[in-house]
């Protein structure tokens, strides 16, 4: 009877006990022994060419099958529902069998090869994918338990900026949920908003609201640094050093179109611009407000 090398045994245990037919052959296990082990139930085939050793399939069936499916197909990645269960994102999942999909259309930055051999979507990509798996209200409540406890606001914004399309309902649902979190746009260590309001006061613009939130018809929330309610004018600080930009270019155009339809003049300046030449930037912001005031008159 063949005996598995210690190195292979350690690798098998680390990934929830699946082993490939190729690994057995490389370890010197003859095909006759494989047939004998299968006949007596010592190994069970759980994916094409991949076996679970011993009774692992009964102890941790979900993780064992997920690892086996990743081993069986090098171009496969767990779908959002399976990835969520593998990551331990609780509270919403009734699936009992893992499911994989082709990784060909998934950005490489969204795929994680875990130490246990399971190929899954990153936590942020999993969260975005779950927007299409859960009902709207359920997704919003679930997101509140995931962000920022299990994944950062920055990671959520990054995956939206790279992948989300506001024309798709699930993606819009994720954009709407994230936009309700002021911290995605305004990191706790930033004082750019305070500096912008102080600069506007020094230039004679008083009584601006620094806490107002603008809600678009789609439910997306915007958090400007200063708002003039009478003129429907607002200025926003885009923290490019924090999350590499406000939204994708397509989403920015869509947001700006909504703001224009609502009658808002919305000025967006970046933290980099403010740090590089604050006087020039703020002069431009004030000029925008004066132009709005002149048009209203």
Give span(s): CATH 3.40.960.10, the chain: 184-296
pLDDT at 293: 72
pLDDT single digits (tens) 241-276: 998 888 998 999 999 999 999 999 999 999 999 999
CATH domain 184-296 topology: Endonuclease; Chain A (3.40.960)
pLDDT single digits (tens) 179-237: 998 888 888 888 999 999 999 999 999 999 999 999 999 999 999 999 999 999 999 99
Annotate the chain with DSSP letters as a single string: -----HHHHHHHHHTTSEEEHHHHHHTT--HHHHHHHHHHTSEEEEETTEEEETTHHHHSHHHHHHHHHHHH-TTEEE-HHHHHHHHT--SS----S--EEESTTS-GGGEEE-TTS-EEE-HHHHHHHHTTTS-HHHHHHHHHHHTTTTS-HHHHHHHHHHH--TTSHHHHHHHHHHHT-HHHHS-TT--HHHHHHHHHHHTT--S-BSS--EE-TTS-EE--SEEETTTTEEEEEE-HHHHSSSS-HHHHHHHHHHHHHTT-EEEEEEHHHHHH-HHHHHHHHHHHHHHHHHHH-
pLDDT at 185: 86
pLDDT value at 82 more than 70: yes
pLDDT at 66: 93
pLDDT value at 58 more than 80: no
Report the percent of the chain where pLDDT is more than 70: 96
pLDDT at 284: 96
pLDDT at 4: 83
């Amino acid at each position: 009877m063949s005996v598995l090398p210690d190195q292979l045994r350690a690798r098998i245990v680390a990934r929830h006990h699946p082993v490939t037919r190729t690994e057995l052959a490389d370890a010197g296990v003859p095909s006759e022994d494989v047939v004998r082990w299968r006949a007596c139930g010592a190994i069970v085939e759980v994916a094409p060419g991949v076996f679970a050793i011993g009774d692992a399939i009964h102890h941790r069936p979900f993780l064992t099958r997920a690892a086996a499916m990743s081993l069986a197909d090098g171009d496969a990645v767990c779908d959002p529902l399976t990835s969520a269960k593998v990551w331990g994102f609780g509270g919403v999942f009734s699936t009992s069998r893992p499911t994989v999909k082709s990784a060909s259309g998934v950005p490489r930055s969204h795929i994680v090869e875990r130490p246990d051999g399971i190929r899954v979507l990153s936590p942020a990509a999993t969260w975005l994918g779950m927007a299409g798996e859960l009902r709207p209200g359920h997704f919003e409540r679930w997101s509140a338990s995931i962000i920022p406890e299990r994944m950062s606001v920055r990671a959520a914004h990054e995956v939206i900026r790279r992948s989300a399309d506001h024309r798709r309902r699930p993606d819009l649902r994720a954009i709407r949920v994230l936009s309700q979190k002021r911290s995605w746009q305004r990191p706790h260590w930033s004082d750019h908003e305070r500096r912008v309001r102080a600069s506007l006061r020094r230039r004679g613009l008083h009584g601006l609201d620094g806490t107002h939130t603008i809600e678009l018809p789609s439910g997306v929330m915007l958090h400007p640094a200063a708002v003039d309610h009478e003129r429907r004018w607002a200025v926003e600080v885009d923290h490019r050093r924090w999350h590499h930009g406000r939204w994708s270019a397509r989403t920015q155009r869509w947001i700006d179109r909504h703001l224009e339809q609502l009658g808002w003049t919305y000025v967006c300046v970046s933290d980099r611009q403010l740090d590089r030449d604050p006087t020039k930037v703020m002069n431009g912001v004030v000029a925008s407000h004066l132009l709005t005031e002149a048009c209203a008159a």
